[in-house]
Structure 1
Amino acid sequence: MSLPPIARTAHRHLDVDGVRVFYRESLPDRPDAPTLLLLHGFPSASHQFRRLIDVLGSRYRLIAPDYPGFGHTRAPDGFTYSFDRLADVTEGFVERLGLTRFVMYVFDFGAPVGFRLAERRPEWIAGLVVQNGNAYEEGLSQGARDFIALRPGTPGAERTIRELLTPEGTRGQYETGVADPGLLSPDGWTLDQHFLDLPGRKEAQVELAFDYHSNVARYGRWQEWLRTHRPPTLITWGANDPFFPEPGARAYLRDVPDAELHLFDTGHFALEDHLPRIAPLIAAFLDRVRP
């Protein structure tokens, strides 16, 4: 009996402007394999893509970095945690790797990082895979709007953010909206919490939470980029996401009407319980786009 190939994955570091960026990179069988840059979300890191890399990494080159303040990446003392700076480091990471054309997978925080990258270097982007990565006002739940409205110095604001950084808050992001929580591995939220509990990490997340409004201010620019460049786009979306509900997925069709849209009966971390359905969609998309 022949088994489907399982990817070999290298685990490496790359220095970018004083940041020691950790990343995972699959080693496909073909040197000209299409490249997919995987941009993770909050409160996770590149480990959220481990199973996707196992499944697709023998046919495609999958690269997943950890941002500063996440996972195994180490930032120097005094690093300013903002979405502009996350994008700066990600842009430098791509340059250091020598990538010039790739499909970009944007999930959650990966959307504001990735769309900044697309604005700066549109020639790099051969296509988009969007998984619960929001770029539209209607894609914000009321809870998300209330969270984004928090400002430094406002009574209770930092406490509200820190409540999301607890084991209960981290686990809840995985389980909310999921039809069968038994399909979720506890390894995801357990590893996320391990990294959140490292020295300085909660402070980094508080800074990023207070900066999230800068992303909403850029939505119009990102929508204009989508309308202008019309990248081939695959949208796979957990429809029960408590932060970024289904209208955020459908909104992309205004600006990229040829996008392929798939909605799933699950929550924010759709890959966790719908990998068997999402991975083939990504493979077929990469075969069509051929970056």
Structure 2
Amino acid sequence: MPVPRVAHRHLDVEGVRVFYRESLPERQDAAVLLLLHGFPSASHQFRRLIDALGSRYRLIAPDYPGFGHTEAPPGFTYSFDRLADVTEGFVRELGLTGFVMYVFDFGAPVGFRLAERHPEWIAGLIVQNGNAYTEGLSDAARDFVALRPGRPGAEETIRDLLTLAGTRGQYESGVADPALIAPDGWTLDQHFLDLPGRKEAQVALAFDYRSNVERYGRWQAWLREHTPPALIIWGGNDPFFPEPGARAFLRDLPDAELHLFDTGHFALEEHLPEMAPLIAGFLDRLGDPR
């Protein structure tokens, strides 16, 4: 079985030193899949997927400012608009003009902002536990969205999620077989969370999360207008974004392909063997988006 070569690089975007990993398939015209990671992770969450598919397709996974190996300058404003700004600049610097976009968790608000700005870039959409509907918010997620700066206990609630126990819980909650969840993911996530300034960045993003919910109607309208080919792969036991959030996409994308899995938020961790062929089949049906 072919194993891809994977490059690990940095790219300067508006003063942000963006780290990214990119598979190097033999075919120069290989389909491009932009992988947008979630909280509290980074591009390393896609390492196994890149190994599984990177010899056939060009998989590109950046780290956002405040995450992973990306380095943001002092005074950077941590908001979802700014994460989207940097991601947009990253795509421009790479010269990408057409790609399939994979959105997970925080990757959904970043990716849908990108799609609003450049619908011509989006040749297809893969959604994995990335929410765009109010019915996809659990009670815990609604409580999270309701947090406001200055309210008693609000920042402490966020910081509790940024501990090792909180990070590990996001990986293990809702999974069917914990033995299939490698500890490397939450261990590496916590390493980055514990770097200077990273918790403050995450607190700022948590307080800004309500801006995403306020945009749900716009993103749904975008889906109806542009009707991108879509694959929805979802961990149905996600404590933050439960199964109704996956099914809601079919309201605006009735031709989307939906697959639910008996697992939690980080569904790829437990079900990569089932998900990777679905992703490959989807990319093959679309062909070269450029």
- Give TM-score scaled by structure 2 length: 0.99
For 1:30, the aligned partner's letter is R
Among 223, 228, 241, the alignment partner of 1:226 is: 223
Q: Secondary structure at the match of 1:41?
A: coil
Q: How does 1:123-138 map to 2 (within 5 A)?
A: 123-138=120-135
For 2:29, the aligned partner's letter is D
Among 82, 86, 96, the alignment partner of 1:85 is: 82
Quote how far apart the aligned CAs of 1:29 are: 1.1
Among 256, 263, 269, the alignment partner of 2:266 is: 269
Match of 1:183 in 2: 180
Match of 1:116 in 2: 113
Identity of aligned residues (%): 84
Quote how far apart the aligned CAs of 1:6 are: 1.0
Q: Measure the CA separation in 1 of the matches of 2:136 and 2:64.
A: 24
Quote how far apart the aligned CAs of 1:7 are: 1.0
Q: How does 1:14-53 map to 2 (within 5 A)?
A: 14-53=11-50
For 1:31, the aligned partner's letter is Q
Q: Structure 1: where are the runs of 5+ without partners?
A: none
Structure 1 residue runs of 4+, over 4 Å off?
A: none
For 2:202, the aligned partner's letter is Q
Q: Secondary structure at the match of 1:204?
A: helix
**Aligned pair 1:145/2:145, yes or no?**
no
Match of 1:154 in 2: 151
Q: Measure the CA separation in 2 of the matches of 1:82 and 1:62.
A: 25
Deviations 1:2-34 (A, max 9, x none): xx1111100000000000000000000100000
Q: Measure the CA separation in 2 of the matches of 1:7 and 1:276.
A: 17
Q: Measure the CA separation in 2 of the matches of 1:220 and 1:271.
A: 28
**Aligned pair 1:105/2:102, yes or no?**
yes
Q: Structure 2: where are the runs of 5+ without partners?
A: none
Deviations 1:108-148 (A, max 9, x none): 00000000000000000000000000000000000000011
Length, aligned pairs only: 288
**Aligned pair 1:61/2:58, yes or no?**
yes
Q: Secondary structure at the match of 1:285?
A: helix
Q: Secondary structure at the match of 2:2?
A: coil
Among 171, 176, 181, the alignment partner of 1:174 is: 171
Q: Secondary structure at the match of 2:60?
A: strand
Q: How does 1:247-286 map to 2 (within 5 A)?
A: 247-286=244-283
Match of 1:96 in 2: 93
Q: Secondary structure at the match of 2:171?
A: helix
Q: Secondary structure at the match of 1:135?
A: coil
Q: Measure the CA separation in 2 of the matches of 1:18 and 1:161.
A: 28
- Give TM-score scaled by structure 1 length: 0.99
Q: Secondary structure at the match of 2:75?
A: coil
